[in-house]
Amino acid sequence: MKTLVEALLRGERRALARLLTIVENEREGMDEALATLFPHTGKAWVIGITGAPGTGKSTLMNALTKAYRKAGKTVGIIAVDPTSPFSGGAILGDRIRMRDLAGDSGVFIRSMATRGSLGGLSRATRDAIRVLDAAGFDIVLVETVGAGQSEVDIVRTAQTTIVVEAPGLGDDVQAIKAGILEIADVLVVNKSDRPGADNTVRSLRAMLELGHPASRTQLIQHHGQLLEAPVPAGEHAITLWMPPIVRTVSTEETGIDELMAAIESHRAYLDDDGVLDTLDQQRIEIELHDRLQDALLTRLLRVLPGDSLAGVIRRVQMREMTPQQAVSAVLALQDERLLK
Amino acid sequence: MKTLVEALLRGERRALARLLTIVENEREGMDEALATLFPHTGKAWVIGITGAPGTGKSTLMNALTKAYRKAGKTVGIIAVDPTSPFSGGAILGDRIRMRDLAGDSGVFIRSMATRGSLGGLSRATRDAIRVLDAAGFDIVLVETVGAGQSEVDIVRTAQTTIVVEAPGLGDDVQAIKAGILEIADVLVVNKSDRPGADNTVRSLRAMLELGHPASRTQLIQHHGQLLEAPVPAGEHAITLWMPPIVRTVSTEETGIDELMAAIESHRAYLDDDGVLDTLDQQRIEIELHDRLQDALLTRLLRVLPGDSLAGVIRRVQMREMTPQQAVSAVLALQDERLLK
């Protein structure tokens, strides 16, 4: 494993691919590999890109990657498909982009789908980011399909989050904007040569302004933080960051320089204000909570006597106990076993 | 609390609204209320509806609700917006539908957004379904915005899952189909009067057929089950259900009778084969796992000495220990405290 990690650190692409596979599938040796890599991480800038289908996210990623390459930066890409809990298919990342970027050793693309447990995707994404980071990529782009809660979770592992919109996507889009807007550090209106682009920009701006200074501060606080309780206003107050709105036409590579500049200024903002440090801690806290939940449940199921869970499930099904009561019963059973 | 539940069982709408609020916000008395309700649940048929933005899901829900009302059934609707982790806004459910359905006491609509913890939405949705079920609604419709993993989770609480597609939604849609298709019991091609509808139906059919009998059997097995490990082929073999594809134009209420018939035949299939019993158990198992994870983490955080988690987070940030090592350390700390 050590040899493999050393090969990764030397920049060998085959070692990179193998380590990503190990991390994605939780293969043997993963913990050791990650422990060896870990001290070499923390140099990459992680950018999350999300948005509804039809906004042209993939083409935008492509254009952004080319621009970073032109600026001399290497780019690792993780394309996450949380909608596929069953087939571990590589649906994304292998399409438009590959044509332009194939053969460039400064770019590495990996598609990931959910494998195994439902919570596994966030874990795998975080660890895959670490592998790419240790491999020396300057920029790690994390793209997600869709715009649901799991995408929000994944994007939350990024340092700069880009939310992509486009004009004229119909009915439901307005609803998505409202929620997803709040995780955006940079907003992109792609396909901005289409009719309605001005309207999209205007309505985004209006929605941003609705979140007036006080609430924006709180939102930035929330960013990256486990939302167990609302943050009391004023506590750990952080300087206001107002997400810029960038217009792009990714198929023509228009507006990409402006997008890079917006990302850069967000990065400078985080560095200047020491916000990055706080956000880093919050990111780690979320990750530890996730991992602890998994570890605790695994242990409980191991400790539990044979078919006692099946018995409890049966009683809930018969409506003899509520799920709440079932949880108390199972916890009591576990404690009894642990104390013996 | 008992009086409130009694009022609910008598069909009083104000009691229903209050109980939903209690359940959504985990207000005091929730556990008692749910325990009192619980024996009165299990009668409603729960239908989940999901699909990408722009497919016209809301209009379809509206048309379907009206059709059920004409057939003499009462309908409770939960519109879930998992994209909104911050603002508890009621974005959905209050739009087109209200115009047609307002004033009909046989219909009740509730919008829900994430509140508090991230895992809280599935919990709240499940409990809200129980409240509507106990209130005597024949049909409970659960609608989600978007088509990500969290939507998949939510839809998994349903007995019949409808996935809505529409022609001509652009690039990314193909990718969404692949994953979301596998949770569909009934597929709807809405806006089927648009150009390209035949293509959409054809490509959906092709994708369904790709999942040949053997793998389909396994998929149905997976449906509603915690995906901790792949199901060994052949184990608990279940008769094949091939999702029918129904064409609708929801704005003209075309195809809605066919949709109802498809839902009915899925229900008959589940009842006939005793599959429902297995799926019920799997649904309860997922729910208990979710709740146990929450309960275990809450307990761990309570037991942990003062700022020990903060210390561990700091060490991960300094790259002195990996997140994996941090988890082991925290678990050891907990056990030490519990043993004292």
Residue B253's closest CA among B59, B18, B123? Answer: B59
**List of chain B residues whose C-beta atoms are within 8 Å of the C-beta of residue A31:** 322, 324
Alpha carbons B125 and B149: distance in angstroms, whole number: 15
CB atoms within 10 A of CB A203: 14
**Cβ–Cβ below 8 Å for B38 and A327:** no
What is the identity of the amino acid at B47?
Answer: I
pLDDT of residue A94: 44
CB B111 within 8 A of CB B79: yes
Which neighbouring-strand residues pair with B186?
B162
Task: Name the more confident of A20 and B242.
Answer: A20
Please name the amino acid found at residue B308: S
* Euclidean distance between CA atoms A21 and B228, whole angstroms: 18
What percentage of residues in chain B have a pLDDT greater than 70? 74
Residue B33: which region, alpha, beta or left (left: phi > 0; alpha: psi -120 to 50)?
A: alpha
Q: Do A116 and B227 touch (CB under 8 A)?
A: yes
Written as one letter, the residue type at B102 is: A
pLDDT at site B235: 45
Nearest CA in chain A to B82: A149
d(CA A330, CA A301): 10
Give the residue from B25, B121, B127, B149 with the most A CB atoms within 10 Å of its CB, the best one to mutate.
B149
| Residue among B152, B296, B319 whose CB faces A85 most closely | B152
Is A83 within 8 Å of B148 when comparing Cβ atoms?
yes
Structure tokens at B340: 């004292």
Nearest residue in A to B36, CA atom: A322
CA distance A19 to chain B (A): 16
Reported as a single tens digit per residue, the pLDDT across B200-211 is 888 888 777 765
∠ CA A239-A240-A241, nearest 5°, is 120
To the nearest whole Å, the CA of A68 is away from the closest chain B CA by 24
Do A139 and A15 touch, CB atoms closer than 8 A? no
Going by pLDDT thresholds of 50, 70 and 90, the confidence category of residue A199 is confident
A319, closest residue in chain B (CA to CA): B39
CATH code 3.40.50.1820 for A41-275: no
- Mean pLDDT across the stretch A153-181? 70
User: Does the distance separating the beta carbons of A292 and B297 come in below 8 Å?
Assistant: yes
Measured between CB atoms, which of B114, B284, B296 is closest to A317?
A: B284
d(C-alpha B222, C-alpha B184), whole Å: 12
Distance separating alpha carbons of residues A243 and B137, to the nearest angstrom: 44
Which of A84, A222, A292 has the CB atom closest to B330's CB atom? A292
Q: How far is CA B239 from CA A106, B215, B219, in A?
A: 50, 12, 11
Cβ-defined contact of A87 to B35 (cutoff 8 Å)? no
Nearest by Cα to A1 from A131, A115, A140: A131
| pTM for the whole structure | 0.78
- The pLDDT tens digits for A257-314 are 999 999 999 999 988 867 888 888 988 998 899 899 999 999 999 999 888 999 999 9
Q: Are strands A160-165 and A186-189 parallel, antiparallel or unpaired?
A: parallel
**Chain A residues near residue B277 by CB distance under 8 angstroms:** 317
Sheet containing A107-113: give its strands across. Answer: A107-113, A75-81, A139-144, A45-51, A160-165, A186-189, A245-247
Q: Which of A150, A171, A299 sits opposite B56 (nearest CB)?
A: A171
pLDDT at A217 over 50: no
Q: Kindly state the average pLDDT of the residues B276-305.
A: 90
- Counting residues of chain A whose pLDDT is more than 90, the rounded percentage is 46
User: How far apart (Å, rounded) are the C-alpha atoms in residues B18 and A222?
Assistant: 29
**Residue among A57, A61, A86, A130 with most chain B CBs within 10 A, to mutate:** A86
Query: Given this model, what pLDDT does residue A202 score?
Result: 86
Phi, psi angle pair for B107, to nearest 5°: -125, 135
The ranges assigned to domains in chain B are 1-39, 41-273, 304-339
Q: Do B52 and A56 touch (CB under 8 A)?
A: no
Higher pLDDT, B275 or B262: B262
CB contact under 8 A, B54 and A316: no
Residue B111: strand pairing partners: B79
- Choose, out of B23, B30, B36, B86, the residue to mutate when testing the contact with A (most A CBs < 10 Å): B86
The answer to whether B281 contacts A56, with C-beta atoms less than 8 Å apart, is: no
- What CA dihedral angle connects B251, B253, B259 and B260, to 10 degrees? 130
CA distance A135 to chain B (A): 16
Asked if B149 contacts A118 with a C-beta cutoff of 8 angstroms, the reply is yes
Identify the residue among A83, A125, A173, A180 best suited for mutation to test binding to B, counting B beta carbons within 10 A and taking the highest.
A83
Radius of gyration of chain B (CA): 22
Tokens of A189: 């209106």
Report the C-alpha gap between A135 and A8 in whole angstroms: 6
Question: Residues of B with CB below 8 A from A338's CB?
Answer: 338
A273-277, B143-147, B290-294: range with lowest mean pLDDT: B143-147
d(CA A46, CA A77): 10
Return the residue in A97, A149, A176 with the most chain B beta carbons within 10 A, the one to mutate for interface testing: A149
Tens digits of residue pLDDT in A58-97: 889 999 999 999 999 999 998 876 554 433 334 444 444 4
Q: Report pLDDT for A283.
A: 87
Contact B176 A150 (CB under 8 A): no
Nearest-10 crossing angle of helices B323-339, B308-317: 160
- Closest residue in B to A322 (Cα) is B35
Q: Residue by residue, what is the 3-state secondary structure of chain A?
A: CHHHHHHHHCCCHHHHHHHHHHHHCCCCCHHHHHHHHHHHCCCCEEEEEEECCCCCHHHHHHHHHHHHHHCCCCEEEEEEECCCCCCCCCCCCCCHHHHHHCCCCCEEEEEEECCCCCCHHHHHHHHHHHHHHHCCCCEEEEEECCCCHHHHHHHCCCCEEEEEECCCCCCCHHHHHHHHHHHCCEEEECCCCCCCHHHHHHHHHHHHHHCCHHHHHHHHHHCCCCCCCCCCCCCCCCCCCCCCEEECEHHHCECHHHHHHHHHHHHHHHHHHCHHHHHHHHHHHHHHHHHHHHHHHHHHHHHCCCCHHHHHHHHHHCCCCCHHHHHHHHHHHHHHHHHC
B74 to chain A nearest CA, in Å?
23
High-pLDDT (> 90) share of chain B, %:
46
Closest Cα partner for A164 from A254, A79, A71, A48?
A48
Chain B neighbors of A57, CB-CB under 8 A: 172
Point out the least confidently predicted range of A4-13, A20-29, A35-44, B38-47.
A20-29
Residue of chain A whose alpha carbon sits nearest to that of B170: A54
**Phi, psi (rounded to 5 degrees) for B148:** -95, -170
Query: For B40, phi and psi rounded to 5 degrees?
Result: -95, 10
Q: Write the pLDDT tens digit of every residue in B205-238.
A: 877 776 534 333 343 344 433 333 344 444 444 5
Contacts of A85 in chain B (CB under 8 A): 149, 152, 179, 182-183, 227
Determine whether the interchain pair A291/B219 forms a contact, defined as Cβ–Cβ distance below 8 Å.
no
Per residue, the 3-state secondary structure of B53-115, as one string, reads CCCCHHHHHHHHHHHHHHCCCCEEEEEEECCCCCCCCCCCCCCHHHHHHCCCCCEEEEEEECC
Closest partner CB to B84 (pick from A145, A179, A280): A179
The closest CB to that of A222, out of B86, B116, B314, belongs to B86
What element of type H or E holds B161? strand B160-165
How many angstroms separate the Cα of A99 from the Cα of each of A66, A251, A314?
12, 14, 54
User: Mean pLDDT in chain B?
Assistant: 80
For the B41-273 domain, the top CATH level (class) is alpha beta
Range with top average pLDDT, B17-21, B96-100, B335-339: B17-21
Interface test with A, best of B112, B231, B292 (most A CBs within 10 A): B292
Q: Which residue of chain B is at minimal alpha-carbon distance from A218?
A: B86
Task: Please tell me the predicted confidence (pLDDT) of residue B199.
Answer: 87
Residue A259, burial from CB neighbour count under 10 angstroms (0-12, 13-18, 19+): buried
Residues of B in contact with A84 (CB under 8 A): 178-179, 182
